[in-house]
Amino acid sequence: MTIPLSLVADMGTLDDATPGVPSPDGAGHRPVLLTPLIESLQPRPGQIAVDATFGTGGVTAALLERVSPGGRVIAIDRDQSAVDAGRARFGADGAVEIAQGDFADLEAIVHALGVTAADLVVFDLGISSVQLDDPARGFSFRFDGPLDMRMDPRSGTTAAHLVDSLTADELTSLIRDYGDERFARSIASRIVRARERSPITTTTQLRELVEQVVPRRFWPKRIHPATRTFQALRIAVNHELESLERGLQAAISILRPGGRLGVISFHSLEDTLVKNALHVAAQNCVCPPQQPHCTCVHRATLFLLTRKVIRPDSAELATNPRSRSARLRVAEKLATDG
Ligand SMILES: C[S@@+](CC[C@H](N)C(=O)[O-])C[C@H]1O[C@@H](n2cnc3c(N)ncnc32)[C@H](O)[C@@H]1O
């Protein structure tokens, strides 16, 4: 079955499993919200920037231009192929170092490179369009490929393994909680029945199964019906929310006083986690509101520079409609951190 083009073209909503945005010429990944990101971070020559999600290096390049001369960009990506391509691109430039790893381990990765504090940290979450558009990676229901979805294909559990091994209840929770899918239970039950006949190992098998389960009249208007199930599996396979939680804490910890943190998210689970983490870090007290006196030892470490989230403006939306799910939040490390 072919996927209607109207659904394919509209894959950039907040609920999308595939937030990577391709560059207009089809080469690499065009970062979204790059102008507001750079304007709010205000990189300066001599600074040390950490790009926690290197991808194809668009953000790294923009940071490098502004921290030069004298500055450095330390970039991280889970995906060894992104790291290899990045080293080939920036290899000659001693000011860029690219490390393979999970940004959950950001502090250890940066320390291992001899750096103890950073002026800027950026997260541009999700997957790149290079990963998305590679059928062998199994991220997209637009292509037939193995149901893999690992950002680091050298380790961890594949989506096929989760689909094959989780119970119906576990699959229901996963698809409902990470995909906000109202047909989660029916999809999970169908997966369990189908895998008794033969294992579900490809993106096409899963896409067709979801298409059969979700009644046509309930197909979402702007996204393919399998979008939410694919998003849920990708989040689970890569432990995305756990990594993000740890990565944000590591970023806050490694920032110098006055240093800035920018986070671009692409779906509501990510954005809510980012918003809550930054809000808590910006509070001087986290005692329950009904408690008359503060007994916590929590002290604010961040100042929120974006009280309201930054979204793509009309010009960016016009040139890149798929950027509309992106949200940017920026904070500054306080001079006294407790
Ligand atoms: C949206 S892309 C970033 C695009 C990049 N800003 C650019 O300009 O090309 C996200 C990248 O972050 C990587 N990534 C996602 N989660 C990660 C994690 N927990 N640790 C390290 N890298 C991660 C993905 O492999 C992907 O390459």
- HEC secondary structure over 259-319: EEEEEEECCHHHHHHHHHHHHHHCCCCCCCCCCCCCCCCCCCCEEECCCCCECCCHHHHHH
For residue 125, how far is its CA from the centre of ligand 1 (angstroms)? 6
Neighbour-count burial of 308, counting CB atoms closer than 10 A to its CB (0-12 exposed, 13-18 middle, 19+ buried)? exposed
Report pLDDT digits (tens) over 164-174: 999 999 999 99
pLDDT band at 263 (very low <50, low <70, confident <90, very high): very high
Mean pLDDT of 234-256: 98
Q: Indicate the domain borders of the chain.
A: 34-129+240-333, 149-237
For residue 237, how far is its CA from the centre of ligand 1 (angstroms)? 15
Assign a CATH topology to domain 34-129+240-333: Rossmann fold (3.40.50)
Say if residues 125 and 117 touch (Cβ distance below 8 Å). no
Query: What is the model's pLDDT at position 14?
Result: 30
Mean pLDDT of 268-280: 97
Question: Left if phi > 0, otherwise alpha if psi is -120 to 50, otherwise beta: which for 298?
Answer: beta
* CA pair distance 273, 235, nearest whole angstrom: 13
For residue 284, how far is its CA from the centre of ligand 1 (angstroms)? 32
Which ligand 1 atom sits closest to the C-alpha of 79?
A: 25
Query: What is the model's pLDDT at position 16?
Result: 39
Looking at the predicted structure, is the pLDDT value of residue 195 above 70? Answer: yes
pLDDT band at 322 (very low <50, low <70, confident <90, very high): confident
Report pLDDT digits (tens) over 109-165: 999 999 999 999 999 999 999 999 999 999 999 999 999 999 999 999 999 999 999
Which ligand 1 atom sits closest to the C-alpha of 264?
A: 1
Looking at the predicted structure, is the pLDDT value of residue 4 above 80? Answer: no
**Same fold yes or no, 34-129+240-333 and 149-237:** no
Q: What percent of the chain has pLDDT over 90?
A: 81
Nearby residues of 320 by Cβ (< 8 Å), 6 or more positions away: 21, 24, 30, 32, 312
Residue 312 Cβ contacting ligand 1 at under 6 Å: no
Looking at the predicted structure, is the pLDDT value of residue 8 above 70? Answer: no
Specify the residue for token string 């943190």: 261
Q: Please give the CATH superfamily to which domain 149-237 belongs.
A: Putative methyltransferase TM0872, insert domain (1.10.150.170)
Question: Left if phi > 0, otherwise alpha if psi is -120 to 50, otherwise beta: which for 204?
Answer: alpha
Query: What is the model's pLDDT at position 28?
Result: 67
Query: What is the model's pLDDT at position 25?
Result: 43
Q: What is the mean pLDDT of the chain?
A: 91
Mutate to test the pocket of ligand 1, among 29, 41, 54 (most ligand atoms within 8 A of CB): 54
Q: Which residue has the higher pLDDT, 15 or 308?
A: 308
Mean pLDDT of 82-87: 96
Say if residues 266 and 125 touch (Cβ distance below 8 Å). yes
Say if residues 241 and 214 touch (Cβ distance below 8 Å). no
Closest residue by Cα to atom 24, ligand 1, is 127
